Amino acid sequence: MKYLVCVDGSHSSRLAASKAISMTGEEDTLIFLSVFPPLPIDNSQCSPSKYTLSKMVIEMISGVPDLVDTTEDTIQQIKNSNKKRDMAVKELHYFKEQPIPTQETKYLLVGSEDISESITSVADKFQVDCVVMGSRGMGSIKRLLLGSVSSQVLQMSHCSVMIVR
């Protein structure tokens, strides 16, 4: 079987990876995937922070122009992307050092804003039999409003999905 194991450095993704590793044998394939937000290309792709939005409201009310500096948001998003990419690389290195009883193991790092879409696209491209991922402890109201990555993958995927708690 081919397993796509989604890792992000969280405790639940480590549990999911451990479960996937324990289920595999020599004839199986494990594909570890970590998705991180990409670098913004220009200011039009950056979403403003709460701080910037507050400054925009003050600017509109006061009539004083140029309180908003979108380069601050760009710099912050670049720092955030780099931090999450570094974390993703460390996580993949962690699993690369683990004893894995499979004949074939792959490690993929993907930069994307849409995590669930990236996971399902990779699963389709590599024709995996099962996506294995952790479940995060998101509050019920937040889950109701936004949905979790694991529930979105469960809905969008064309293969089996195992969500580990």
Interatomic CA distance for residues 51 and 23, integer angstroms: 47
Assess contact for 89 and 109: CB atoms under 8 A: yes
State how many domains the chain has.
Answer: 1
- Residue 59: name the closest of 70, 73, 74, 46 by CA: 70
Give this prediction's pTM: 0.76
What is the sign, positive or negative, of the torsion defined by CA atoms of 40, 42, 47, 52?
positive
Task: List pLDDT tens digits, range 5-29.
Answer: 999 988 899 999 999 999 999 999 9
| Residue scoring higher pLDDT (65 or 111) | 111
> Per-residue confidence at 143, pLDDT binned at 50, 70, 90?
low
Question: Which pLDDT value is given to residue 137?
Answer: 46
Interatomic CA distance for residues 12 and 25, integer angstroms: 22
- State the CB neighbour count (10 A cutoff) for residue 86: 11
CATH of the domain at 147: 3.40.50.620
- Domain of residue 79 covers 2-164
Average confidence (pLDDT) over 57-79 = 65
User: Which residues touch 155 (CB under 8 Å, ≥6 apart)?
Assistant: none
Task: List pLDDT tens digits, range 89-139.
Answer: 999 999 999 999 998 999 999 999 889 999 999 999 999 999 999 987 444
